[in-house]
Amino acid sequence: METALVDLPTGAYSITIGGGVRDRIAPFVKKLSGVDRCVIITDHTVSGLHLPALTSALSIPHFVAIVPDGEDSKSLTQAAQVYDRLAAERVERSDLIIALGGGVVGDLAGFVAGTWMRGIRFIQVPTTIEAAVDASVGGKTGVNHPRGKNLIGVFYQPSAVFIDTDLLATLPDRDFRAGLAESIKHGLIRDPALLTWHEQNAARILSRDADALTHLIAANCRIKAEVVVADERESGLRAILNHGHTIGHAIEHALAHELRHGECVGLGMIAENHIAAGRGWPIAGDVQRIIDGLAALGLPTRLPRQIEADDIYALCLQDKKVAGGQIRFQLLEAVGRPVSASDVTADEIGGAVAAIAPVSSA
Ligand code: GLY
């Protein structure tokens, strides 16, 4: 078992990682002052797979709110249905929400927790790699608006995060691998040794070796915690976590969610590092290494089908981080040396899209 601490001035919380750590949830909840009841928010798939493992160890009154699987549950409509349930069950300020699931459940449940009665406590129990290494830590919660992802939300920190690596065993391979892109990203922006560790341990990671997963998740959570503590509300440093995401989100949109988020982030990282390499920055010497590292973890390194560079450029302009008409990229001068760039040109984006073109059109 490993732990990490998110040591925010407004209140620190712990992240506990390892096999069987779900059994630590009940004792933790009992120690939180005044919690009489828990509300577990989860989705259909996760409830079928993991709800009994959680509830059998939870010797506290609780009820379960199950939402449909998938991104569509990150909506105000779904949040309203959960609020209706909380109202029907007379959920009070002292009750605690447990988010059991991947990023969608965590973002929705965190948003509901942050807004119900102006905020009730919640804990995150992520069941995907993506949520374990990224979304469950740092307090970004919210739902989507038809005009864009995550447009409605609050920064609202959990009281604790429990990452039970046993719960990752049921993840389909493709989802498991997709989440690893965020882990590579953390190594690239902040921890060159973590990047090397991925390269040296790809087989152990892919075989879901318990020690390797615990190490990987703990290393990621520590990086995430450090960045969030330095800049909780993304007014500066936290923006580096968007490395690979500007082009990644554009790809996600252009392909209408044909690829997983992490797969798009992986492609976005290759493309964005191609831009940085084209500027003559030292990262040029590592671009092939990044491609190889993603490939070794079974992530795509080329688009599955052609997307026009103009379309990617137009989609980048719709990114939430556009300010004053300028797209703000988080590039890397070198591994571990991120830099913000608002002067990336349409031509550079064209070259970057060409670098990840499908093999047939490369
Ligand atoms: N996933 C990016 C962040 O938490 O800021």
The arithmetic mean of pLDDT across residues 227-231, rounded, is 98
- Residue 361 is predicted with a pLDDT of 57
Torsions phi, psi of 63, nearest 5?
-140, 165
Expressed in angstroms and rounded, the spacing between residue 326 Cα and the centre of ligand 1 is 21
Q: pLDDT tens, 70-129?
A: 999 999 999 999 999 999 999 999 999 999 999 999 999 999 999 999 999 999 999 999
Q: pLDDT tens, 4-40?
A: 999 999 999 999 999 999 999 999 999 998 898 999 9
Q: pLDDT tens, 91-106?
A: 999 999 999 999 999 9
Helix (H) or strand (E) holding 248: helix 245-254
The encoded tokens of residue 362 equal: 């490369």
What is the separation, in whole angstroms, between the first and last Cα of the chain?
A: 45
Distance CA(343)–CA(356), nearest Å, equals: 21
Rounded to 5°, angle at Cα 299 from 293 and 305: 125
Expressed in angstroms and rounded, the spacing between residue 89 Cα and the centre of ligand 1 is 32
User: Considering only CA atoms, which of 144, 159, 148 is closest in space to residue 113?
Assistant: 159
Atom of ligand 1 nearest to the CA of 182: 1
Q: In one letter, which amino acid is 258?
A: E
Atom of ligand 1 nearest to the CA of 239: 5
Q: Are 333 and 282 spatial neighbours (Cβ–Cβ below 8 Å)?
A: yes
The alpha carbon of residue 159 and the mean position of all alpha carbons in its chain are separated, in whole angstroms, by 18
Q: Are 143 and 153 spatial neighbours (Cβ–Cβ below 8 Å)?
A: yes
Active-site residues: which are they? 118, 140, 182, 224, 234, 238, 242, 245, 249, 261
The encoded tokens of residue 82 equal: 């959960």
Q: Is a pLDDT exceeding 80 seen at residue 191? A: yes
What ranges make up the beta strands (E) of the chain? 2-8, 11-18, 38-43, 62-67, 96-101, 122-126, 140-145, 148-155, 160-164, 329-334, 337-341
Q: Is the CB of 140 under 6 A from ligand 1?
A: yes
Neighbours of 187 (CB within 10 A): 24
Atom of ligand 1 nearest to the CA of 241: 2
Rounded to 5°, angle at Cα 320 from 319 and 324: 85
Distance CA(2)–CA(124), nearest Å, equals: 16
Q: Are 21 and 5 spatial neighbours (Cβ–Cβ below 8 Å)?
A: no
Distance CA(332)–CA(340), nearest Å, equals: 8
- Residue 297 is predicted with a pLDDT of 98
Q: Is the CB of 245 under 6 A from ligand 1?
A: no
Q: Is the CB of 241 under 6 A from ligand 1?
A: yes
- Residue 351 is predicted with a pLDDT of 97
Expressed in angstroms and rounded, the spacing between residue 274 Cα and the centre of ligand 1 is 23
The arithmetic mean of pLDDT across residues 233-240, rounded, is 94
Q: Cα separations (Å) of 198 from 3, 99, 215, 244?
A: 20, 29, 11, 18
The arithmetic mean of pLDDT across residues 338-362, rounded, is 92
Q: pLDDT tens, 273-330?
A: 999 999 999 999 999 999 999 999 999 999 999 999 999 999 998 877 787 888 999 9
- Residue 163 is predicted with a pLDDT of 98
- Residue 148 is predicted with a pLDDT of 81
Helix (H, G, I), strand (E, B) or coil at 225: helix
Q: Ligand 1 pocket test: which of 238, 249, 264, 320 has the largest number of ligand atoms within 8 Å of its C-beta?
A: 238
- Give the chain's largest Cα–Cα span: 62
Q: Is a pLDDT exceeding 80 seen at residue 362? A: no
- How much is the mean pLDDT over the chain? 96
Expressed in angstroms and rounded, the spacing between residue 260 Cα and the centre of ligand 1 is 17
The arithmetic mean of pLDDT across residues 174-179, rounded, is 98
For 52, counting Cβ atoms within 10 Å of its Cβ (0-12 exposed, 13-18 middle, 19+ buried), the class is exposed
